[in-house]
Amino acid sequence: MRRSVIHVVTSAVLLVSVHGVAWGVNPTGYGQAGGEYDVRIPRVPAGELAKAKKVRPPFDATPEVLAEGKAIFLGVGGCVSCHGAEGKGDGAAASNLPIQPRNFTNPKFHKLRTPGELMWVLKNGSMGQSGRVPGTGMLPVVQPKGFITEEQGWKALLYELSLGQ
Ligand code: HEC
């Protein structure tokens, strides 16, 4: 119930802000400080959420895995260009995006998401709030023939999750 109220409010804000903005959404002052979209709203569509939540990382966050994850985050994964070297969402490309990248050091974020939901986003990209907004810049980076493998994705995710602890 509470969630649907949030949806109604956010849709109204989106409609108002659509005018005159090339991207169709204006995140300035919207949602959280810095222009992140409201983190309380799941990025996985309702019909897939329960299943996504149950997906677990295939390995533990050992120091070796975290070191590999960091290398992927800063290197081949390209995450750093948007999420920033410290994962604060302030990478060089961030200011060009309509919606600001996730700040992985935000403790709220860690309480609200399971690793499985984050893997869903790596595979499908993020449409922001329940698919109601155009693409957010968070593209589907884990693809069979693209960018990074699922294993690399998990390592980068475990590294990101370690940033908020
Ligand atoms: C082109 C910029 C860009 C790149 C490159 C990028 N991201 Fe993102 N990322 C974003 C944006 C923007 C968001 C916020 C999307 C939203 O609010 O729904 C985001 C959100 C996320 C989220 C949070 C999703 C959620 O459920 O809240 C995760 C996890 C994530 N990114 C992981 C990664 C990883 C891992 C990489 C590197 C492999 C990466 N991102 C590369 C822009 C980027």
pLDDT at 110 over 70: yes
Task: Report whether 77 contacts 152 (CB < 8 A).
Answer: yes
CA of 85 to the centre of ligand 1 (A): 13
Confidence of residue 29 (pLDDT cuts 50, 70, 90): very low
* Mean pLDDT, rounded, of the chain: 78
In this predicted model, which residue has the larger pLDDT, 43 or 115? Answer: 115
141 lines ligand 1 (CB under 6 A): yes
Ligand 1 neighbour 156 (Cβ under 6 A): yes
For the residues 56-60, what does the mean pLDDT come to? Answer: 97
Interval between CA 65 and ligand 1 midpoint (Å): 20
Q: pTM of the full predicted structure?
A: 0.82
- Write out the two tokens for 66: 């975290």
- Which domain, by its residues, includes 137? 2-163
**Residue 34: its pLDDT value, please?**
54
Q: Which residue has the least CA distance to atom 19 on ligand 1? A: 101
What pLDDT does 54 receive?
97
Q: For 115-152, write each residue's pLDDT tens digit.
A: 999 999 999 888 765 555 556 788 889 988 878 999 99
**Is ligand 1 within 6 A of the CB of residue 155?**
no
Residue 155: name the closest of 81, 76, 91 by CA. Answer: 76
Highest mean pLDDT among 27-36, 93-102, 105-114: 105-114
Token pair, residue 31, equals 């949602």
Number of structural domains, the chain? 1
Indicate which residue's Cα is closest to atom 21 of ligand 1: 102
| Mean predicted confidence (pLDDT) in 96-112 | 85
Q: Reply yes or no on whether the pLDDT at 33 is more than 60.
A: no
126 C-beta closer than 6 A to ligand 1? yes
What is the rounded CA–CA span in Å between residue 31 and residue 156?
Answer: 26
Separation of CA 139 and ligand 1 centre (Å): 7
Atom of ligand 1 nearest to the CA of 157: 35
